[in-house]
Amino acid sequence: MKRNKQQLRNILNQLDGKSYKAYQDIKGQFEFDHFTVIVDHVQGDPFAKPSRIRVRVSQRIAQFPGDTFQNRSREIGLRDFLARCFYQAAKRHTRGNRGTGQSGSIRMEKPGQEILERSSVIINNDFVEGRFVMGLPAFGRRIAGQHAIAMFFNELPAIVTHSLIYKNLNQNTLYKHIETCEDADALREKLEEQQIVSFIADGSILPRASGVDPRPLTGGNVVPFQSPDSYRLEVELPNKGKITGMGIPQGITLVVGGGYHGKSTLLKAIENGVYNHIPGDGREFVVTNPGAVKIRAMDGRNIEKVDISPFINNLPFEEDTTAFSTENASGSTSQAANIIEALEIGAALLLIDEDTSATNFMIRDHRMQELVSKDKEPITPFIDKARQLFEEFKVSTILVIGGSGDYFSVADNVIGMKDYLPVDMSHAAHDIAEKYKTERKPEGGESFGTVTSRSPVKESLDPSRGRKAVKIAAKGLHSISFGTYTIDISDLEQMVDMGQTKAIADAIYYSTRFMNENRTLNEIAEKVLMDIHEKGFDILDRIPSGEYVAFRKFELAGAINRLRSIRMKQK
């Protein structure tokens, strides 16, 4: 039932001083002069999660030109931009604390450095919609009706005016935002035809302000990126025009150099290149194959029926590694499982930093081979499998390494970082490999081995806790509460926004509708993403939410793999 704004004012006047639960009377839709307010969910008390509210502005009022959302890249860029505008307007026009608990807050989730599809803003030819939360005000548990009136009738109209109406926005900044997004997508689409896995534009600023601040580093010590001539490519973008930068070819690439010269910084930029970045971030035109997966060791993680035999076999007591399970993986075992699971979901590029790898998984040198014979060593190191991975599966590798020159023998490209700038060291590295022949023996066998698909057992995903049939929540960026279990996803390093964690948490439960004994984990993850693409994020919750952010199938599958109750059947 539609009601008008005066009816909302009357209700809030009548509710003033009543028990907090009486706020339920404002659920529904109210027509204001220039927009519609939709109250989807009312919190149970002032300390509970804030109420979910939507505001919808007709395009007759909003008047966003069609070219601002004419394709998917521009639409996502515009929605991301408007979410930032709404966030800033809410900070500027909201008084804030108005009593107990969450009272007085009007909040849309703050976007980070990435341009991502968000459920917080929807736009089409008919309307633009903002989704946010509001802490309905109270003193104790008594409704503060007059403060609620101020929020709905003074603050919210000001926020809408300065965030969801085209003429009131900085249009140059808006177009730069959506064009940057469109250009990055166009650049990423060129990677395959150029036979490269990543592109880093000349002039990019790769270092971040700090380990906890993803904004670009500023100051006199910042060195803009410049490609070596041998790796420099020129590409044409739809808006930016011609740009140049370093293209990293398909195959096996080593990133080498002294400590503190920028090796890991380069790899971090490459791994985040699966996402687009805002103007001014410094990484606007650092793009990477969307099938890139960062791989690391993760002691203690759960592994369920993964065929890790390409890397680990011949265990004591004849333990089978073709369907290996453990609740407490070692560093090498977890890294092997992480690679196989990534391949199972369709990875095209592995990103590895020796600093976060298990040493015995990466290399076994000649002396160790002499001391411990291969028949006594279950682990086949990655050095003996990387070439097979590329030749048999077309999966490339970018590896940061500073401790083993044996990798020179298997590398196609060697990029050295010197004073934060890349240098082509491929010829020098290959000459060294030729001059100083390694005495280590290859241990990889004739082929990489089998990548075996698995199907999750639906009954092993139980989201219930106590009296609640479904109890699911994101606990920060790297943790999900699913029923009675906590899923640790801290080793999924390409997660960048807590909205992704929230979406994945609910997508795990949604994915169970596709689970049967014939459908693989990869097929299930793809079906979830296809449904979100076709129907929107609203499929993940019965109440529309503005807190979801787009995620990849690798992280969804990774979270399912790390659920300690999960049971799998191999195909």
What percent of the chain shows pLDDT beyond 90?
A: 93
| Whether the predicted pLDDT of 569 surpasses 80 | yes
| Whether the predicted pLDDT of 1 surpasses 80 | no
277 lies in some domain: no
Instruction: State residue 99's pLDDT score.
Output: 87
pLDDT band at 557 (very low <50, low <70, confident <90, very high): very high
Q: Which of 121, 148, 169 is the last residue of a domain?
A: 169
| Whether the predicted pLDDT of 220 surpasses 90 | no
Instruction: State residue 332's pLDDT score.
Output: 96
Instruction: State residue 95's pLDDT score.
Output: 87
440 lies in some domain: no
CA atoms of 5 and 464, how far apart (whole Å)? 40
What ranges make up the beta strands (E) of 120-240? Answer: 121-123, 127-134, 138-139, 142-143, 196-201, 208-210, 213-216, 232-237
Instruction: State residue 316's pLDDT score.
Output: 79
Decide: 399 and 352 in contact? Cβ < 8 Å: yes
* 116-140 CB burial, b ≥16 within 10 A, e <16: bbbbbbbbeeebbbbbbbbbbbbee
- Taking 3-state DSSP, the helix, strand and coil percentages for the chain, each rounded to the nearest 5, stand at 35, 25, 40
Chain segment 55-98, per-residue pLDDT in tens: 999 999 999 999 999 999 999 999 999 999 999 999 999 987 88
The tally of CA atoms less than 13 A away on the side-chain side of residue 172 is 0
The tally of CA atoms less than 13 A away on the side-chain side of residue 146 is 2
Residue 489's domain spans which residues? 454-570
174 lies in some domain: no
**What is the count of structural domains for the chain?**
2
CA atoms of 272 and 207, how far apart (whole Å)? 12
Q: What is the mean pLDDT of residues 110-114?
A: 96
What percent of the chain shows pLDDT beyond 70?
A: 100
Q: Which of 169, 197, 215 is the last residue of a domain?
A: 169
Instruction: State residue 260's pLDDT score.
Output: 85
Mean pLDDT over the full length of the chain? 96
Name the one residue in this structure whose structure tokens are 């600023």: 205
Q: Which of 144, 169, 194 is the last residue of a domain?
A: 169
Instruction: State residue 403's pLDDT score.
Output: 87
553 lies in some domain: yes
> 3-17, 304-318, 431-445 — which one is most confidently predicted on average?
3-17
CA atoms of 398 and 411, how far apart (whole Å)? 10
pLDDT band at 401 (very low <50, low <70, confident <90, very high): very high
Chain segment 439-475, per-residue pLDDT in tens: 899 999 999 999 999 999 999 999 999 999 999 999 9
DSSP letter string, 326-346: ESS--HHHHHHHHHHHHHHTT
Instruction: State residue 315's pLDDT score.
Output: 82
428 lies in some domain: no
* 424-443 CB burial, b ≥16 within 10 A, e <16: bbbeebbeebeeeebebeee
| Whether the predicted pLDDT of 317 surpasses 80 | no
Instruction: State residue 232's pLDDT score.
Output: 98
pLDDT band at 314 (very low <50, low <70, confident <90, very high): confident
81 lies in some domain: yes
| Whether the predicted pLDDT of 207 surpasses 90 | yes
| Whether the predicted pLDDT of 318 surpasses 80 | no
111 lies in some domain: yes
341 lies in some domain: no
Chain segment 326-356, per-residue pLDDT in tens: 999 999 999 999 999 999 999 999 999 999 9
